[in-house]
Amino acid sequence: MAKAAQPSVVNLGPLEEEVMRTVWRHGLKTVAEVTAKVNEGRPRPLDYRTILTVMSNLTKKKLLRHRRRGNTYHFTPTCTEDEFAYSQGAASVAGLIKRWGSPAAEGIVDQLGASPEVVARLKALAAGANGESASRP
């Protein structure tokens, strides 16, 4: 049986993260819409071309895809914010464990145990591994 490909960590700069959060949370599709939203409350607005470049880079990173409609590109995310967070967490943990082994895994488990919400979620996931249904983003 083929092993599933491990997700890789996608490094986002601060503006890339802001643009992705804007697209995810507001469902904006055009560069003009995203530029307007990102510039709300900024003392010095960002240029349309800056946001266009960021959105193009996010397309290269496979977080956005685009289609041209007339003279306008419409962008859509390739995953939800929760799916992205899940894949980044999974990739980060896998990388730490691969590099540092059991001590890294123990450190991760210790950190997870510090949050009652996370402990409850882990119990639900463990129950799912035993045949009960558990879902992920």
Q: Are 68 and 87 found together in one domain?
A: no
Q: How do residues 34-47 score in pLDDT, each as one tens digit?
A: 999 999 989 999 99
Domain that holds residue 87: 81-129
User: How would residue 83 be classed by pLDDT, with cut points 50, 70 and 90?
Assistant: very high
User: How would residue 3 be classed by pLDDT, with cut points 50, 70 and 90?
Assistant: very low
Q: Are 85 and 119 found together in one domain?
A: yes
Output the pLDDT for position 51. Answer: 97
**CA 62 vs CA 1, 52, 124, 126: distances in Å:** 27, 15, 31, 31
Output the pLDDT for position 46. Answer: 98
5, pLDDT greater than 90: no
Q: Are 88 and 64 found together in one domain?
A: no
Task: Examine residue 51 and state whether it is found in any structural domain, yes or no.
Answer: yes
Torsion sign across C-alpha atoms 18, 19, 21, 27: positive
Q: Are 71 and 121 found together in one domain?
A: no
User: How would residue 132 be classed by pLDDT, with cut points 50, 70 and 90?
Assistant: low
Q: Which residues pair with 76 in a beta bridge?
A: 65
Q: Are 89 and 70 found together in one domain?
A: no
Which burial class, exposed, middle or buried, applies to 77 when counting CB atoms under 10 A from its CB (0-12, 13-18, 19+)?
middle
Average the pLDDT over 70-85 and give the result. Answer: 94
In whole angstroms, how large is the CA radius of gyration of the chain?
19
Task: Examine residue 53 and state whether it is found in any structural domain, yes or no.
Answer: yes
Task: Examine residue 91 and state whether it is found in any structural domain, yes or no.
Answer: yes
- For residues 78 and 62, what is the distance between their CA atoms, to the nearest angstrom? 7
Q: Are 105 and 50 found together in one domain?
A: no
Q: Are 69 and 92 found together in one domain?
A: no
Output the pLDDT for position 118. Answer: 83
